[in-house]
Amino acid sequence: MQQSVVRVGKWLVTPSVNQITLPDRVVTLEPRLIDLLVFFAHHPDVVLSRDELIDSVWTRNIVTNHVVTQSISELRKSLKDGDEDNVEYIITVPKRGYKLVAPVIWCTDEANPGAPDSSGSTDALQPAVHVAVASIATATPTFPVMTNGRQKKITPILVWLLFIISLISCVTLVALSSMSGRSPQVKTLLMLNPRDIDVRLLNGDSCNEHSLQYPYAVGIGDLITTSLNTYSTFMVHDRTNYNVNEPDSSGKTLTIEFVNQRHYRSQQCFMSVKLIDNGDSSVMLDKRYFITNDNQLSILKDLLNNLSTALAQPWPTEMQKMLDAYLPKQGMALARFYDAHQLLLKGDADSLSQASDILAGIIKQWPDYTWAYAEKALVDTLRYSQQPSDDSRDDGLQSEINQVTAMPQINGSAIYYQIKTIDYLEHGKVNDAYAMINLGIGQEMSWLNYVLLGKVYEMKGDNRQAADAYLTGFNLRPGADTLNWIENSVFQTSIQEVAPYLMRFNIK
């Protein structure tokens, strides 16, 4: 993007430092929002579609229409500067895209060469180009030489001939030097996005008991990822199922690892949680927890509070309401719940059957834990959708769904909309499923919601939108489990036909 200073409405935009300023206020935006605003400034009063924005602003990233919509929303909020009565800078043109309607003034014409005018045309530059070419043609010099006492002139044709010969000689020398020397080493530069976070779960083989606590760590990673993606401006990728060593642009990394540490004269297994700022390698959070059957609930709450402080990200009241419904009152119930939740994340038939049995035991032992009812209904709805229809079993499933619907803590939550989406797809009610999953995405930005959105788009016959959703789901939680969900949940999907890009990650 151009680094020129530009005035958009009342704001002075300085892309080089990612800032928009007023006489009494300076606001620092994320680089992607600055790039988006500058691109709009290059095309004032022009309707720009989501595809155009993705191609021009997110040129090297896999993004979806939802990411564009979210970014537009964040940009609008920043430009309004907290005052909802302020005029709109970017308006939505239904079924076409977005348009910047604020006046745009580039502070220096020289700083913006080649920028299109308000109609998107560069015709205004053409006369200058023609003049330059004409001046070169008419200003070709002639040089006097003396031959036998008479002065002759070297014609323009001879001057051009000498120039061409010199040019060919230079090109030849460069080609020979590149052939004789070693191949140049090209460094791949990677920009870090400070608002992106990777959550990684390390093996922790040094702990003998780490396998028993592994589901708890997986559940924590899933909860942190979904909470930050839903209730903050951070973009978090849950890589607990994808520990692949590859270049990454995330500005921060949250690692969960089980380590041995001396505790009361013996070596004990601790869960280490560390948040690193990859920009300067500083440690933002470093906690170690000794996990027992009774303290898992208090550890989770402590970790969320410390993470909120480290990221300067206060949790909103909406998240607290979600946690009130999601978390049980007993630590042991949470441990058993995460055993079942890890099996749900795997998504295969055997894992889902085991998860259903564990959740049935939780409900029997802790009948006041409402989220366990919802999780069991989700598991059963999913696994029954992959089996032949059975009237008695279907009646039992509908009874489960009706029971969950009657729970005020669950009705209207993201998991409720997930259950209804799968149920509607199973009965061929595609439009109802589409309405449900969009309500679910409004409640929660999770990998599961986007996988289900992809299934809905496939049923609607829109494979391009399905691929878009699947890529988003995989971006939020990459790994073999998410691929299995895409391929086998609800109905069989051919990744090669619908989302061939994901084939490169199919490491079975």
| Assigned domain for 261 exists | yes
Neighbouring residues of 22: CB distance < 8 A, sequence distance ≥ 6: 10, 11, 12, 81
- C-alpha dihedral (258, 263, 266, 271), degrees to nearest 10: -10
Nearest in space to 237 (alpha carbons), one of 204, 197, 276, 279: 197
Whether residue 269 is found in the same domain as residue 343: no
Whether residue 313 is found in the same domain as residue 344: no
Whether residue 26 is found in the same domain as residue 61: yes
Say which CATH number the domain at 69 has. Answer: 1.10.10.10
pTM exceeds 0.85 for this model: no
| Assigned domain for 331 exists | no
The last residue of a domain, from among 272, 292, 326: 326
Whether residue 349 is found in the same domain as residue 446: yes
In sequence order, the β-bridge partners of residue 276 are 253, 283
Q: Are 7 and 109 in contact (CB under 8 A)?
A: no
Enter the tokens of residue 235. 């973009």
Q: Are 358 and 338 in contact (CB under 8 A)?
A: no
Enter the tokens of residue 338. 């995460």
The last residue of a domain, from among 106, 126, 146: 106
Q: H or E element: which one contains 259? A: strand 250-263
User: The tokens 């396998």 sit on which residue?
Assistant: 211
Q: Report d(CA 467, CA 465) in Å as an integer.
A: 5
Whether residue 276 is found in the same domain as residue 402: no
Whether residue 281 is found in the same domain as residue 412: no
Per-residue confidence (pLDDT) for residue 140, from 0 to 100: 41
Whether residue 289 is found in the same domain as residue 387: no
Residue type, 15: P
Whether residue 307 is found in the same domain as residue 271: yes
Residue type, 374: A
Q: Are 201 and 218 in contact (CB under 8 A)?
A: yes
Give the HSE-up count for residue 280: Cα atoms under 13 Å, Cβ half-sphere: 3
Q: Write out the E strands in 3-109.
A: 6-8, 11-14, 19-22, 25-28, 90-93, 97-100, 104-106
| Assigned domain for 171 exists | no
Tell me the C-alpha to C-alpha distance, in Å, between residue 202 and each of 88, 148, 214.
Answer: 46, 88, 10
| Assigned domain for 114 exists | no
503: left (phi over 0), alpha (psi -120 to 50) or beta: alpha
Enter the tokens of residue 199. 């959550």
In sequence order, the β-bridge partners of residue 48 are 98
Q: Report d(CA 281, CA 409) in Å as an integer.
A: 41
14: left (phi over 0), alpha (psi -120 to 50) or beta: beta
Cα torsion 61, 242, 308, 369: sign: positive
Neighbouring residues of 24: CB distance < 8 A, sequence distance ≥ 6: none
Query: Can you say how many angstroms the Cα of residue 213 is from the centroid of all Cα atoms in its chain?
Result: 28
How many domains would you assign to the chain?
Answer: 3
User: The tokens 């460094």 sit on which residue?
Assistant: 187
Tell me the C-alpha to C-alpha distance, in Å, between residue 97 and each of 60, 66, 80, 368.
Answer: 21, 13, 20, 47
Q: Report d(CA 435, CA 7) in Å as an integer.
A: 40
Whether residue 242 is found in the same domain as residue 386: no
User: The tokens 């079942």 sit on which residue?
Assistant: 340
Q: Report d(CA 299, CA 338) in Å as an integer.
A: 14
The last residue of a domain, from among 326, 346, 378: 326
Per-residue confidence (pLDDT) for residue 305, from 0 to 100: 94
User: The tokens 């719940």 sit on which residue?
Assistant: 337
Say which CATH number the domain at 220 has. Answer: 3.40.50.11830
User: The tokens 């949940």 sit on which residue?
Assistant: 489
Per-residue confidence (pLDDT) for residue 209, from 0 to 100: 61
Helix or strand or coil: residue 419? helix
Say which CATH number the domain at 401 has. Answer: 1.25.40.10
| String of DSSP letters for 245-257 | -----EEEEEEEE
| Assigned domain for 382 exists | yes
Q: Residue 99's domain spans which residues? A: 6-106
Q: Are 439 and 30 in contact (CB under 8 A)?
A: no
In sequence order, the β-bridge partners of residue 93 are 97
Residue 48 DSSP label? B
User: The tokens 């709805």 sit on which residue?
Assistant: 381
User: The tokens 């004269």 sit on which residue?
Assistant: 265
Query: For each of the chain's 508 residues, which pLDDT tens digit applies?
Result: 446 788 888 888 888 888 888 888 888 888 888 888 899 989 998 999 888 888 888 765 566 677 788 788 888 888 887 665 667 888 888 778 889 988 888 875 433 433 444 333 333 333 333 333 333 333 344 444 444 444 444 566 765 676 677 667 655 654 554 444 444 444 456 788 899 999 999 875 556 666 668 899 999 999 999 999 999 989 999 999 887 777 788 999 999 988 877 655 556 788 899 999 998 899 999 999 988 878 899 999 999 999 999 999 899 998 998 999 999 988 889 999 999 999 999 999 999 999 999 999 999 999 999 999 999 999 999 988 877 767 777 788 899 999 999 999 999 999 999 999 999 998 899 999 999 999 999 999 999 999 999 999 999 999 999 999 999 999 999 999 999 999 999 999 999 999 999 988 865 4
| Assigned domain for 46 exists | yes
Per-residue confidence (pLDDT) for residue 29, from 0 to 100: 85
Q: Work out whether strand 90-93 and strand 282-290 pair parallel, antiparallel, or are unpaired.
A: unpaired
Nearest in space to 444 (alpha carbons), one of 436, 454, 455: 436
